[in-house]
């Protein structure tokens, strides 16, 4: 490749694409490189045999903020559909635990809902509400600042935050235990814990409060046209500024000069390697440890407490015969925990499934119907509907097949996948939607090996690094935009936190740092990256030479 770019971005998830789109709008020429055969990362969708499925974005909150921000980064205007039904106050998550809990999470009246269900736990619910309010205030801003300035400053302000708000230095289990002994309330407040995955005792309360806040404030939303609409909207903006988004372009090395400066990357295409130079810098959106591998381990190793990867999943993509009018599928999500006992802790339930996935009557299942979430689905796929059913599945259960070729793995692996999928479908989906049994026309099962192959995840982890307390209180030395290699930047979910909005926040932090928005004079003058981007005129059809 002879062309030169101002910046090269590795990875085309929301972290990489949004970084590239922001830089493009600021006038830079950016090359985005993606190893998969399509752009989008966890936002990518695939279609097969007449059905289209989302893969890693099922709902997004905070839309008052994100609607205008995303419109500043895409061609045209993106519409969003609120999940849930009006007569159910737009409940977005229904939690079904054992036979004892059925709880709808819905915004605005969520506190009343909890108080109604747990009248003896007023104090605990008040503390939960206060903790969410704390999360949305000063600490999150300070946490971002800790990642931008000198490490001693970060150490100082993070120590202060944890001293002043001790709940933010606790695990979710510890925080729940400090509020109440009522196990049913603890279970209910952990109903969407699958958004983090794993065990509550290993996960920072900070991120759980953040996720609750993300959805409880305004409810949950889905892009009209599916997550592909976001990817499709950003690519032309990058190309309009002279940049490109290349797929099947796996970066095999970040070229670092002897003086410690990132100069460009090497791209692997089959057995051939080519080099591309970046005039101003390389931005990696593939996570800290993969980035480090590409530099031949020139970055400092992460401390042990931060090295653990997040949970892995099995996903069943189900194509259904019948339109939305016929099947009347709900647009809200379901978090299902059949077989969970009243007295059982969340962690004991998940741990027991790790030991024996196919226990009779017991499973964890997240169920959503992408076709019901997207009002444009019926136009594109008339007479069809889709379901996506997900459960946690440890990497260790599939590891023995990791070296087999994708789509040509052994019969034994296929049989295991079928067995796991049948178990979750029977125990979760058919239990609540028995009418769908005779409607299935298509089924595809993705395991952690699929995430490893299609998303480049080292051990099939879904959300990048895991979420220990230290990640939110002591990681600012490593998980920050700037790296120890000059002109090499990190972006995406490992910079701040996981989730579509977390990865977008990573992009904001990184591009803001690159473009000088966090320099003290800029801050004092009130400069703000989003304000500047949102103020720019929206890019309409007529602003593009090529018809995309």
Q: Across-strand partners of 442?
A: 319
208, 188, 217, 194: which is closest to 66 by C-alpha?
217
Q: Which H helix or E strand runs over 52?
A: strand 51-54
69 binds ligand FAD (CB under 6 A): no
Stretch that binds ligand FAD, among 175-183, 416-424, 495-503, 515-523 (CB under 6 A): 495-503
- Name which position in 286, 302, 353, 488 contacts ligand FAD (CB under 6 A): 286
What residues between 389 and 408 interact with ligand FAD by CB under 6 A? 390
Q: Which is nearer to ligand FAD, 14 or 263 (CB)?
A: 14
For residues 347 and 343, what is the distance between their CA atoms, to the nearest angstrom?
12
Do residues 372 and 62 touch, judged by C-beta distance below 8 A?
A: no
Q: 298: burial class by Cβ within 10 Å (0-12, 13-18, 19+)?
A: middle
CB of 542 to ligand FAD, least distance (A): 30
CB of 133 to ligand FAD, least distance (A): 21
What residues between 155 and 214 interact with ligand FAD by CB under 6 A? none
Joined together, the tokens standing for residue 29 give: 């020429």
- Name which position in 57, 70, 124, 162 contacts ligand FAD (CB under 6 A): 57
Stretch that binds ligand FAD, among 33-41, 119-127, 430-438, 476-484 (CB under 6 A): 33-41
- Name which position in 14, 78, 131, 513 contacts ligand FAD (CB under 6 A): 14
Stretch that binds ligand FAD, among 67-75, 370-378, 493-501, 540-548 (CB under 6 A): 493-501
- Name which position in 21, 28, 31, 36 contacts ligand FAD (CB under 6 A): 36
For residues 144 and 76, what is the distance between their CA atoms, to the nearest angstrom?
30
DSSP single-letter state for residue 301? P
What residues between 497 and 516 interact with ligand FAD by CB under 6 A? 498-503
What residues between 446 and 475 interact with ligand FAD by CB under 6 A? 455-456, 462-463
For residues 282 and 241, what is the distance between their CA atoms, to the nearest angstrom?
17
Q: 432: burial class by Cβ within 10 Å (0-12, 13-18, 19+)?
A: middle
Angle at 91 between CA 89 and CA 93, to 5 degrees: 175
DSSP single-letter state for residue 395? G
CB of 501 to ligand FAD, least distance (A): 6
By rule CB under 6 A, what count of residues binds ligand FAD?
A: 39
**Binding footprint of ligand FAD on the chain (CB under 6 A):** 10-16, 33-36, 41-43, 56-60, 250-251, 285-286, 290, 313, 315, 390, 455-456, 462-463, 492-493, 498-503
């Amino acid at each position: 490749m002879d062309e030169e770019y101002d910046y090269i971005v590795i990875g085309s998830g929301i972290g990489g694409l949004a970084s590239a789109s922001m830089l493009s709008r600021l006038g830079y020429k950016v090359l985005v490189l993606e190893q998969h055969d399509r752009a989008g990362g966890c936002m990518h969708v695939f279609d097969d045999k007449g059905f289209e499925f989302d893969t890693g974005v099922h709902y997004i909150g905070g839309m008052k903020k994100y609607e205008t921000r995303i419109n500043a980064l895409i061609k045209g205007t993106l519409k969003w559909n609120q999940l849930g039904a009006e007569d159910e106050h737009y409940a977005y998550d229904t939690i079904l635990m054992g036979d004892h809990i059925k709880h709808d999470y819905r915004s605005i009246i969520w506190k009343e809902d909890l108080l109604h269900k747990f009248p003896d736990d007023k104090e605990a619910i008040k503390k939960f509400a206060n903790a969410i309010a704390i999360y949305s205030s000063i600490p999150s801003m300070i946490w971002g600042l800790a990642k931008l300035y000198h490490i001693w400053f970060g150490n100082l302000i993070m120590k202060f935050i944890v001293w002043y708000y001790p709940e933010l230095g606790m695990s979710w289990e510890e925080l729940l235990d400090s509020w109440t002994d009522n196990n049913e309330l603890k279970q209910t407040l952990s109903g969407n814990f699958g958004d983090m995955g794993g065990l509550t005792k290993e996960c920072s309360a900070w991120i759980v409060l953040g996720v609750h806040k993300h959805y409880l404030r305004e409810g949950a939303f889905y892009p009209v046209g599916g997550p592909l609409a976001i990817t499709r909207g950003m690519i032309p903006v990058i190309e309009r500024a002279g940049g490109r988004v290349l797929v099947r372009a796996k970066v095999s090395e970040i070229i670092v000069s002897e003086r410690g400066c990132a100069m460009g990357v090497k791209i692997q295409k089959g057995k051939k390697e080519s080099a591309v130079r970046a005039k101003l810098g390389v931005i990696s959106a593939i996570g800290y440890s993969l980035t480090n591998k590409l530099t031949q381990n020139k970055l400092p190793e992460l401390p042990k407490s931060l090295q653990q990867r997040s949970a892995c999943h099995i996903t069943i993509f189900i194509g259904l015969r019948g339109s939305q009018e016929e099947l009347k599928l709900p647009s809200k999500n379901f978090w299902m925990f059949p077989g969970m006992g009243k007295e059982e802790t969340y962690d004991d339930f998940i741990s027991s499934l790790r030991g024996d996935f196919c226990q009779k009557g017991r499973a964890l299942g997240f169920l959503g119907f992408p076709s019901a979430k997207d009002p444009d689905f019926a136009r594109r796929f008339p007479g069809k509907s889709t379901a996506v059913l997900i459960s946690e599945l440890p990497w260790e259960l599939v590891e023995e097949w990791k070296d087999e070729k994708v789509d040509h793995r052994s019969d034994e692996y296929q049989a295991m996948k079928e067995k796991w999928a049948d178990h979750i479908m029977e125990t979760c989906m058919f239990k609540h939607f028995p009418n769908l049994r005779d409607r299935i026309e298509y089924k595809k099962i993705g395991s952690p090996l699929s995430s490893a192959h299609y998303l480049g995840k080292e051990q099939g982890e879904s959300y990048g690094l895991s979420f220990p307390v230290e990640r939110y209180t002591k990681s600012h030395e490593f998980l920050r935009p700037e790296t120890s290699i000059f002109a090499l930047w990190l972006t995406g979910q490992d910079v701040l936190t996981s989730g579509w909005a977390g990865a977008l926040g990573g992009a904001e932090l990184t591009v803001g740092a690159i473009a000088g928005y966090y320099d003290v004079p800029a801050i004092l003058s009130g400069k703000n990256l989003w304000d500047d981007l949102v103020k720019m005129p929206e890019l309409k059809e007529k602003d593009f030479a090529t018809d995309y």
